[in-house]
Amino acid sequence: MTTDSRSNTRTAWFFILPAVIIMAAACLYPVVSAVRLGFFDWSMGTPWAQAKWAGWTSFEIVFTDPAMWRSLLTTLKFAAVSVSAEMFLGIALALALEGNIRGMAFFRTLFILPMMVAPIAVGLTWRYLFDAQFGLINAVLGVLGVAAKGWLADETLAFAAIIISDIWQWTPFVFIMVIAGLANVDNSVLEAARIDGARWWTLTTRVKLPMIAHVLAITLVMRLIDAFRVLEVIYVLTFGGPGDSTEVLSLHIYKTAFIGQKLGAASAISVLLLVVVMVLTWLALRMSNPLADSEKDK
Amino acid sequence: MNDQRALLALRYVALTLLAILCVGPILVMALTSFKTQAQTFTTGLSFFFAPTMENYRDVIFDSSFGRYLVNSLIVGIVATLITLLLGCMAAYGLARFSFSGRKTIAYTTLMLRTVPLAVIAVPVFMIWSDWKLTNSLTGLILLYVAVNLPFTIWLLYGFVLQVPVELEEAAAIDGCRPWKIFLRIVLPLIRPGLAAAAIFTFRIAWNEFILALVLTDRSTRTLPVAASLFVTDIGVEWGKLMALATLIALPPLAFTFLAARQVISGLTAGAVKG
């Protein structure tokens, strides 16, 4: 690189400016606006200039609204259940199936399918599968002698349905991450432990898992972040129903804004969701420290 | 070593079961697309039935399908190309140069990666209305680029770092300008990263539903939005819906089978240190 720091800076900006402009205009600005909107009283369709300053009103309304708290609780429950299930299953399966198995690449290809298919297709397919009358799930249960259930009409079962579809979609992700992490484990350490007499359980819990703790942590946080952001699958699968038993925060925001037309309230809830997601993202950044590899001298 | 063999067999059984679980719902989606309306309403495990093409016929020859397909293709391809171009440039700038504000830009970019789409749907609709960008493909493309750049930059950043600096320095000594160095030396070496980024960006732009729902009208609608419209209050035309869903799933499926390695490397990049 040239030693002339001024042309250095100019060149750098040449490379990054286009991206920065677009991200600032079409991503950062909307996010800032979302926060700002929370302080105004504005209805869609009226000119923005007519919006009245409302101070903390929207926030007060939102934080005293039981529907919002229900939605928050639903989201927390959803995140907790689905992510723990996915982590547990993903790790267990990775531990059980790791190693040099011929054809693993083929299986891995099949495993990423759930993640690649459009979320809307995922939601619609599971909606069909969970249908009370002609869904495959009930048919399989019938074969096993279990009574058919009205999955999407019952609050608890609908919640189970969104959890199941999320587990289906994302456990492979956890599996792939953990397998990749395990593949990088230094075998000599494992050998040494084995020679010292470690049996499988000790080997796994005391040696292997700690060695991939970093990958596990990153995967966990990434899944948590995405669990809080989930929207499209639930939109199509239950649309928050029955009632609002599956109305996670993203969906609640969407409904408040585009159906309830209450943009100030929607923005206030958005701030809440943003805070949660940003905190988690910050956590993820601290853990993976993406700039560590190239700390440059100023 | 019968134990070893049994264990291996067990593993294959487990892997196969998992594969069936993963592929199952997708197969159901595809199979249902070949069923008549009446057949879709029969209960349960009907895997053997006389397939019909009528759903695909209805969907494809519907007057609007061509338009929706073209919209999706334009949005997907253009958004991917722009994101790749701006993304690899920005990744290179961040990786190879030091300048004041670098850290701020880097961290802000990374934080933007996880913005929930529901959060920006409202302000985007408002802002885009002001800028006259609603109901236009340009507006949608712009948004998709902005939303995909953070991940793309982060992904390509890692790949750029792996290019040996000595190559670039040698070229610089030979009098090569930075743009040429970027074009001739760095870009070819980060091709796998570009492939992964292209797949991820196209997949998101192609599959995305909620922002497209908010920002498009009948003439600019994309395929996923069209699919959601099959779900009416009167009832769902499952056969046609699954046909459309299967069509929408084809490009990502193609990517999966052709470029699984790239997808996986994109997923694990940064989390799994070599």
**Residue-wise pLDDT tens digits, B158-179:** 889 888 888 888 888 888 888 8
What gap in Å lies between CA A106 and CA B257, rounded to an integer?
9
Please give the residue that has the higher pLDDT: either B14 or A206.
B14
For residue B146, what are the CA distances in angstroms to B203, B205, B216? 15, 11, 17
Q: Is residue B49 part of a domain?
A: no
Residue A277 CB contacts under 8 Å (≥ 6 apart), including other chains: A225, A228, A229, B114, B115, B116
What gap in Å lies between CA B262 and CA B274, rounded to an integer?
16
Q: Does B250 touch chain A (CB under 8 A)?
A: no
Angle at B222 between CA B258 and CA B197, to 5 degrees: 35
Residue B11 CB contacts under 8 Å (≥ 6 apart), including other chains: A96, A97, A101
3-class state of residue B72 by DSSP? helix
- The pLDDT assigned to A229 comes to 92
Per-run averaged pLDDT (10 residues), chain B, 274 residues:
80 90 91 81 67 84 87 95 95 89 90 92 87 88 95 91 88 87 89 90 93 89 88 77 91 87 79 52
The alpha carbon of residue A185 and the mean position of all alpha carbons in its chain are separated, in whole angstroms, by 27
Q: CB-CB: which of A15, A129, A277 is closest to B114?
A: A277
Q: Is residue B250 part of a domain?
A: yes
C-beta separation of A87 from A174 below 8 A: yes
Contacts of B22 in chain A (CB under 8 A): 110-111, 113-114, 168, 172
Interface test with A, best of B5, B78, B122, B210 (most A CBs within 10 A): B122
Across B107-122, b (16+ Cβ under 10 Å) vs e yields ebbbbbbbbbbbbbbb
- The pLDDT assigned to A293 comes to 47
Does residue A1 register a pLDDT over 60? no
pLDDT confidence tier of residue A3, bands split at 50, 70 and 90: very low
Q: Does B40 touch chain A (CB under 8 A)?
A: yes
- The pLDDT assigned to B218 comes to 85
pLDDT confidence tier of residue A269, bands split at 50, 70 and 90: very high
For residues B56, B61, B62 and B64, what is the CA-based torsion angle, rounded to 10 degrees? 110
Q: Is residue B50 part of a domain?
A: no
* CA distance, residue A112 to nearest chain B CA (Å): 7
Alpha helical stretches, state H, chain B: 2-32, 37-40, 54-60, 65-96, 102-112, 117-130, 137-161, 165-173, 178-181, 187-189, 191-207, 210-215, 223-228, 238-268
Q: If you count residue pairs, one on A and one on B, with CB atoms under 8 Å apart, how many are there?
A: 330
pLDDT confidence tier of residue A296, bands split at 50, 70 and 90: very low
Please give the residue that has the higher pLDDT: either B36 or A32.
A32
Average pLDDT, chain A: 86
For residue B190, what are the CA distances in angstroms to A288, B88, B91, B269, B273? 21, 9, 11, 13, 18
Residue A109 CB contacts under 8 Å (≥ 6 apart), including other chains: B256, B257, B260
Which residue do the tokens 């297709």 mark? A121
Contacts of B45 in chain A (CB under 8 A): 136, 139-140, 143
A214/B89 Cβ within 8 A: no
Q: CB-CB: which of B19, B114, B120 is closest to A34?
A: B120
Structural domain that includes position B219: 64-268
Tell me which residues of chain B, numbers 51 to 80, contact chain A at a CB-CB cutoff of 8 Å.
none
Q: Is residue B40 part of a domain?
A: no
Angle at B121 between CA A170 and CA A275, to 5 degrees: 70
**Residue-wise pLDDT tens digits, A34-86:** 888 888 777 666 666 667 777 788 888 888 999 999 999 999 999 999 999 99
Contacts of A231 in chain B (CB under 8 A): 116-118, 210
- Comparing CA positions, the residue from B195, B202, B191 lying closest to residue B263 is B195
What gap in Å lies between CA A3 and CA B66, rounded to an integer?
55
Q: Does B42 touch chain A (CB under 8 A)?
A: yes
- The pLDDT assigned to A47 comes to 66
Contacts of B143 in chain A (CB under 8 A): 26
Cis bond upstream, residue A242 (ω within 30): yes
Interface test with B, best of A136, A140, A173 (most B CBs within 10 A): A136
**Residue-wise pLDDT tens digits, A172-197:** 999 999 988 888 888 888 888 888 88
What gap in Å lies between CA B155 and CA A155, rounded to an integer?
40
pLDDT confidence tier of residue A277, bands split at 50, 70 and 90: very high
Q: Does A167 touch chain B (CB under 8 A)?
A: no
pTM given for the model? 0.88
For residue A128, what are the CA distances in angstroms to A123, A139, B41, B151? 9, 12, 10, 33
- The pLDDT assigned to A6 comes to 60
Residue B196 CB contacts under 8 Å (≥ 6 apart), including other chains: B155, B259, B262, B263, B265, B266, B269
What gap in Å lies between CA B62 and CA B57, rounded to an integer?
8
Q: Per the structure block, which two tokens stand in for A116?
A: 């690649």
3-class state of residue A133 by DSSP? coil
Domain count, chain B: 1
Quickly name the fold that domain A36-121+149-288 has: MetI-like fold (1.10.3720)
Q: Is residue B93 part of a domain?
A: yes
Look up residue A219 and give its amino acid: T
Q: Does A216 touch chain B (CB under 8 A)?
A: no
Nearest residue in chain A measured CA to CA from B24: A114
Across A245-267, average pLDDT = 90
- The pLDDT assigned to B131 comes to 84
pLDDT confidence tier of residue A295, bands split at 50, 70 and 90: very low
Does residue A169 register a pLDDT over 70? yes
- Alpha-carbon torsion A195, A198, A199, A204, what sign? negative
Q: Per the structure block, which two tokens stand in for A242?
A: 């029955």
What DSSP assignment string belongs to B186-214? IHHHTHHHHHHHHHHHHHHHHH--HHHHH
Q: Is residue B82 part of a domain?
A: yes
CATH code, B100: 1.10.3720.10
